[in-house]
Structure 1
């Protein structure tokens, strides 16, 4: 089940983030660290109603932020489309819930959520050395649109984009016009 995150979730989200930071450090990935992402980032997402939780047996199995905000560095990327979009940020799967399809469920949700909001274009990014996320985006049909440099990170970030299925988008638009 995927639901909107609430403030009471933040404590458990940070526990998951702290585990992931240790895991990432074990393979020299400093995409996330003790300064990002933190409680304030997730509270902003919750207040904007952009953070979603995937639960399994009453426990946070993963989370994803889907909004319309992009980092300034995105302006340097040659994106395929110049239209409304949504961006995936701060997506993670609880290390205790890996190999359960949570990452796939979160990306499926992001795509459905975008279409429900009449958006057919998704953008995201991940550290170029974050093999797991790069592979997941490629598995889901995201194309690399370019790379950006994020301050305080040695390596570039890969920027991904996905144009959602035009037929599904059109059906959704027709349904919205009829409603």
Structure 2
């Protein structure tokens, strides 16, 4: 079941995210680390009522932010023209349940929420090397838009979108 997160969920969310980061690092993906995402990132999402959880038997096994605000660099991306967009951020699935379709359910939920809210575009990004995330995006109807690197020290990010209206 997908529901909005509350302040009481924050400790459980962070415990799960730490497990996710450990597995990401074991697979050579360093997009997340000790400095991102942090508790205050998820707290802001909760305060904005943009953080959603996936629960199984009252246990949080997934988290995803569905925001009406994109990242700062999104103004520089060649998105399909739109009036309103949702941005998917900080999607994490408990490592013990990867491959069970939970991420797909978050994408379906975001699409239904966009249609209900008259939002015409859903966008997201990931590290260019994160092939797993890119496969999940494509499987859920997202198309590759472009890559971008903010500066010489920054990683290359891959940007994806899904037109929903």
Q: Which category describes the TM-score, using the shorter chain as reference length?
A: over 0.9
Residue in 1 aligned with 2:138?
138
Whether the 8 Å contact between 1:2 and 1:52 is mirrored in structure 2 is yes
* 8 Å CA contact 1:126, 1:134 repeated in 2: yes
1:96 aligns with 2:96: yes
Per-residue deviation at 1:19?
1.1
| Counterpart mapping for 1:99-178 below 5 A | 99-149=99-149, 154-164=154-164, 166=165
CA contact 1:74–1:148 (8 Å) conserved in 2 = no
Rounded to whole Å, the distance in 1 between the matches of 2:110 and 2:150 is: 24
Which residue does the alignment assign to 2:25? Answer: 25
Runs ≥4 in structure 1, deviation > 4 angstroms? 150-154
In structure 2, the partner of 1:3 is 3
**What is the TM-score when the length of structure 1 is the normalising length?**
0.86
**CA 1:148/1:119 → structure 2, altered by over 3 Å: closer, same or farther?**
same
Aligned length: 165
Q: Give the unaligned 5+ runs of structure 1.
A: 167-179
Whole-angstrom distance in 2 between the partners of 1:154 and 1:117: 34
Gaps of 5+ in 2: none
Which secondary structure state, in structure 2, belongs to the residue aligned with residue 35 of structure 1? coil
Q: Quick check: which has more Rg, 1 or 2?
A: 1
